Structure 1
Amino acid sequence: MRIFVTLILASSALVASAAAEEPLLPAQPQTEAASPATPQQRLNALFTDLKRERDEEKARELANRIRLEWQDSGSATVNLLMQWAEKAIAGEKKTMALDMLDQVIVLAPNYVEGWNRRATLHYQMGNFRKSMSDINRVLALEPRHFGAIAGMATMLEAAGKNELALRAWQQFLDIYPSDRKAQEQLGELSEKLAGSRT
């Protein structure tokens, strides 16, 4: 990731120096194709594209770009804590990871991925109620967070709340319609519910 960022910065510097050597041209009007300026504008554009995209592979690429947007907290300290938490989780030091994620949430209470990562960790530790509470916070901050919605649907189904799980998968597919696994989950739950009604 650092190499990728370094390459981007290096290429930006090259473009800037090349532009400085060229004679000034009249300013061109902004077009709609220009890259959105703020993270929220970029997210909105990506979600619009994700909803329209029917090709599974292209949709997956868009979903990954959305995840990358979510990962950057805008704070070097918070980003570092998130990296340390991931290393702790990978090293099976879940309690330590939980402490770090708690700190992330204290430092950046509106950072969606802090809540989402802690929800996932609570789930892995068997703290389903706490996981669902964190998922609710994620969705209050970002109602389109398809990862959190998938987690919620999985927990609802495990708890035998199939109708609520079905609604969650429908919500997921409204945001990310070409996700094959979600389509399969929705189909299986629909069949299960139809069978229980007959």
Structure 2
Amino acid sequence: MRILFALALMAGPVWAQDCPDPADHSAELNGLIAKARAAPDEAAGREVSSSMWQVWLRAPNEQAQEVLDRGMRQRDVYDFVGAFKEFDTLATYCPTYAEGFNQRAYVQFLQGAFAGALKDLDLALAINPNHVAAQSGRALTLMQLGRIPEARTQMLAALKNNPWLSERALVAKGAPLGPKGEDI
């Protein structure tokens, strides 16, 4: 009996249930996108951005929330290996929860693993096409991969959903993703 218990522990986390699909927050996010577009200034825009993060960081159940929170804490103290493991667990456990892939992508981005980050961002956006953070993260990743025209297109899509992103400076004239051909 002890051997079976030890084997079960070594096999990884034992979940009481399968991860449920995340709640449909599309109406709430669409409302926040509309608020971001209509925000009169950067302070109001940042407040809306914060509200978007509160929605994205709502995991489908308590177990998933615990894994997400552990990964975030590890990432915040630069334990990228531990954070990646937690986000990998989350993405495996909750394959329909975009934030697991988005956070795993972010850790890979921070480590310079841009190809892996891009794959995870594509997965996050397949689940939630209007995930503004994944959109801007994908643009930054494409930029790091030298795929500048794609990066610009992706950043403009993110800015359409939230014009107050700090990354907006990257599409200004003369910036890395800025318009080309106007310098003459």
Equivalent in 89, 98, 122 of residue 84 of structure 2: 98
Q: Aligned residues: percent identity?
A: 21
Equivalent in 103, 128, 138 of residue 114 of structure 2: 128
**Map 1:153-192 → 2, pairs under 5 A:** 153-179=139-165, 181-187=166-172, 188=175, 189-191=177-179
Structure 1 residues 91 and 176, CA, compared in 2 at 3 Å: closer, same or farther? closer
1:23-81 CA deviation, whole Å, 9 max, x = no partner? xxxxxxxxxxxxxxx63322222122222223211111111101101101131001101
Q: Which runs of 5+ in 2 are unaligned?
A: 1-23
**Map 1:20-169 → 2, pairs under 5 A:** 39-169=25-155
Asked whether the 8 Å contact 1:51–1:174 carries over to 2, the reply is: yes
Distance in 2 between residues matched to 1:190 and 1:91, nearest whole Å = 33
Question: Runs (4+) of structure 1 moved beyond 4 Å?
Answer: none
Distance in 1 between residues matched to 2:37 and 2:160, nearest whole Å = 7
Distance in 2 between residues matched to 1:74 and 1:177, nearest whole Å = 28
Q: Which runs of 5+ in 1 are unaligned?
A: 1-37
3-state SS of 1:178 partner: coil
More helix by share: 1
TM (norm. structure 2) is 0.77
Q: Report how far residue 135 of structure 1 moved.
A: 0.4
Distance in 1 between residues matched to 2:116 and 2:57, nearest whole Å = 21
Amino acid at match of 1:66: M
3-state SS of 2:178 partner: helix
1:113-134 CA deviation, whole Å, 9 max, x = no partner? 1111000011112211110000
Structure 1 residues 39 and 170, CA, compared in 2 at 3 Å: closer, same or farther? closer
TM (norm. structure 1) is 0.72
Q: Count how many residue pairs are aligned between Structure 1 and Structure 2.
A: 159
Distance in 2 between residues matched to 1:39 and 1:165, nearest whole Å = 27
Amino acid at match of 1:60: R
Structure 1 residues 106 and 155, CA, compared in 2 at 3 Å: closer, same or farther? closer
Asked whether the 8 Å contact 1:172–1:182 carries over to 2, the reply is: no
